[in-house]
Amino acid sequence: MDPPHPDRVVFDVGGKRYKTTRVTINVYPEALLARLVSEPNPDFQEIFIDRNGELFQYVLDFYRNRGKVHVPWHLYPALLQEFEYYGFNSGKIAVNGTCKTYGVQTIEKR
């Protein structure tokens, strides 16, 4: 296991590990992830979330890209559920266009 670092956060989502920083997560302080990392605890190294680990990469990219992520069209319904779980209800995100050539949709923060 990685040694603790005050700015790093490790999420174990459905068995997949993701590393990021508190700065990235705190872009949306009202959302679930920011609340989970709001108080550093040196006694634990990872935050376990019992959700779909494959879909979490899109949620994390949404944070990293400051509210915009391109997703495969066939994942869109499942991702809407994930975004709601993490604190972005349908009033806070929007789908802005579909690219049929590449089969992607763009989810953006409103």
Domains of the chain: 8-109 (3.30.710.10)
Regarding predicted confidence, which is higher, 100 or 54? 54
Regarding predicted confidence, which is higher, 25 or 71? 25
pTM over 0.85: no
∠ at Cα 28 (40, 65), nearest 5°? Answer: 110
Concatenated DSSP letters for 46-104? -EEE-S-HHHHHHHHHHHHTTSEEEEEGGGHHHHHHHHHHTT--TTTEEEEEEETTTTE
CB 59 within 8 A of CB 11: no
* Residue 19 binned pLDDT confidence (cut-offs 50, 70, 90): very high
CA 94 – CA 91 distance, rounded (Å): 8
pLDDT for residue 39 is more than 80: no
pLDDT for residue 36 is more than 70: yes
